[in-house]
Structure 1
Amino acid sequence: MKLNYKSTELFYTTKGTGNPLVLLHGFLESTKIWDPFIEKLSGKRQVICIDLPGHGKSGNISDIHTMELMADVVHEVLQHLKIVQASLVGHSMGGYVSLAFLEKFPGMTKSLVLMNSTPEEDSEEKKINRDRSISIVMKNKNVYINMAITNLLPPGNFIKFRTELDEIKNQALQMSKEGIIAALKGMKIRTNRNLVLKNFRNPKYIILGTKDLILNAETTQVIAKHCECQLILTEGGHLSYLENYTEIEEILYFID
């Protein structure tokens, strides 16, 4: 389905009824990552998947897609569907967007799952790496996408899920340079939302891959404890929805 927002087409899907669950993909991903989950989950509730700006079939809204702007997009879709409260699941960048949504629209989040994500802001080193990434994208988008997606899994799982990773890469290659750069700039300037997460009193979870090459496992476990989140550890890297599909499906099925 399509929705026009700020003169830009946004794409989303919805299936099922009642007790809405919003699934938000990560950087360089799209609603496609959730396809294997929709049939079962939508059997008991409404499942909404949104292509965030510049990703999937959604267009670019700005030269910087801040997490707040993306949260506004989620809000616009929910308003359009007349949903007053929903549970949010955000993978990686989708988790950053979920936290921005939680902060901007208090009371609309029933429960929250951060999957391979963190409420922390970028470190200074990470910000420098974002700038380097932008430079690479400007020179050769395809080289950047191949490099970025390859780094999401530990070596063993990279081989095991090579076909699925190739599909993610193929989807990402459809993105424009502008969309990739806008997201990189937005992630670079996101704020620390530890307090937002800590103060959220509804059910909240952090799903962490113990071999995640993007997040520091030890630091993330400390954050989960500090923010009083239920921590769920999985054996894998940064793509828990792929590497630990059966376990994640069960978690999402029984959330709230």
Structure 2
Amino acid sequence: MKSIKLSNGRTIAYSEAGSGQPIVVLHGYCGSHRYWDEVVPLLASRGRVIAPDLRGHGESSTGEGIYSMEALADDIAALLDELEIPKANLFGHSLGGYAALAFAEKYEERLAAFGLVHSTTYPDSEPAQANRLKAAETIRAEGVAAFVEGLIPKLFAPDHRASMPEKLKKAIEIGYETSPDGAIGCALGMRERPDRTAVLESLKVPVLLLAGELDEVIPPEKRFPVTKDNVTQILLPNVAHMGMVEDPKAFADAIHLFLDDSRG
């Protein structure tokens, strides 16, 4: 692990492997760079893979308040500045996808290619917004551990909760590393995020929409919000919301295929 102090005063921790074209992967809510442990070695044959811990997660710095998706995007832009990376292939998982969309809206010129992974352009529904508030209340009252123990199993396919006990355990343990302020701040930030379908529609770079067939978090009608010539839609069979963990080879193969196609 490495860490770097950004121009905004925050410290971002990240892992790095490989060399060549920059491939930045952003983890989901109550995750960390460790979500990508099995995927990074597979992607590192194609480029320089950078996996940051988002603000308030893993080993990155935290603080009180609402963590807007725009603020998370600014952290990533500042990290790329420090690493002297003008353009990157950016892939965001779930929460990381929401941050990546905010990045695409603000820093499109810094994208070589863009990917939404088990994520969506659509904002929270009213019930989902209510659940974000409930999540924040639960974390304040009971702590992060109790919250992630309830959350993380729902991210795996039902059969995988039984057949992948070690992977499920690891994902829960990664969740324990999320700071309470980070978990609350991101829950409230996700609650406030706007509809960014228009951002995806306007992007000129190659776009990957990667979804899990069994995902209970992102329903079918929200997985592929845009159909265009520069948009690749891939549905991974037999995985839910954690494709990079549930089937890392198929996940990495999908990204390899997309990157090969995007280079023409």
TM-score, normalized by the shorter chain, greater than 0.5: yes
- After the TM superposition, list the runs of 4 or more consecutive aligned residues in structure 1 that deviate by more than 6 angstroms: none
In the other structure, the counterpart of 1:23 is 25
Contact kept? 2:123, 2:195, Cα under 8 Å: yes
Deviations 1:130-177 (A, max 9, x none): 111111111112221111111112321111222111111112112221
What amino acid is the match of 1:171? I
What amino acid is the match of 1:128? A
User: What is the 5 A alignment of 1:155-170?
Assistant: 155-170=158-173
Counterpart pick for 1:50 among 49, 52, 57 = 52
Distance of 2:216 and 2:53 partners within structure 1: 25
What amino acid is the match of 2:179? S
Shift of 1:96: 0.6
In the other structure, the counterpart of 1:191 is 194
In the other structure, the counterpart of 1:104 is 106
In the other structure, the counterpart of 1:80 is 82
More displaced stretch, 134-143 vs 23-32? 134-143
Distance of 1:227 and 1:209 partners within structure 2: 22
In the other structure, the counterpart of 2:15 is 13
Indicate yes or no: 2:244 matched with 1:241. yes
Contact kept? 1:153, 1:239, Cα under 8 Å: yes
Contact kept? 2:94, 2:117, Cα under 8 Å: yes
Contact kept? 1:16, 1:44, Cα under 8 Å: yes
Give unmatched runs, 5+ long, in structure 2: none
Indicate yes or no: 2:235 matched with 1:218. no
User: What is the 5 A alignment of 1:122-161?
Assistant: 122-141=124-143, 142-161=145-164
Counterpart pick for 2:231 among 229, 245, 248 = 229
Contact kept? 2:22, 2:50, Cα under 8 Å: yes
More displaced stretch, 130-139 vs 228-237? 228-237
Distance of 1:227 and 1:97 partners within structure 2: 24
Indicate yes or no: 2:205 matched with 1:202. yes
SS of the residue corresponding to residue 10 of structure 1 reads: strand
More displaced stretch, 211-220 vs 227-236? 227-236
Distance of 2:175 and 2:162 partners within structure 1: 19
TM-score (norm 2): 0.91
Q: CA RMSD in A?
A: 1.6
SS of the residue corresponding to residue 57 of structure 2 reads: coil
In the other structure, the counterpart of 1:92 is 94
What amino acid is the match of 2:98? Y
Distance of 1:115 and 1:191 partners within structure 2: 18
Shift of 1:226: 7.0
SS of the residue corresponding to residue 226 of structure 2 reads: helix
More displaced stretch, 136-145 vs 109-118? 136-145
Shift of 1:14: 2.2
Give the fraction of aligned pairs with identical amino acids, expressed as a percent: 27
SS of the residue corresponding to residue 161 of structure 2 reads: helix
Structure 1 residues 161 and 24: CA distance shift in structure 2, 3 A: same
Distance of 1:25 and 1:121 partners within structure 2: 18
In the other structure, the counterpart of 2:4 is 3
Contact kept? 1:152, 1:239, Cα under 8 Å: yes
Distance of 1:76 and 1:13 partners within structure 2: 16
Contact kept? 1:211, 1:217, Cα under 8 Å: no
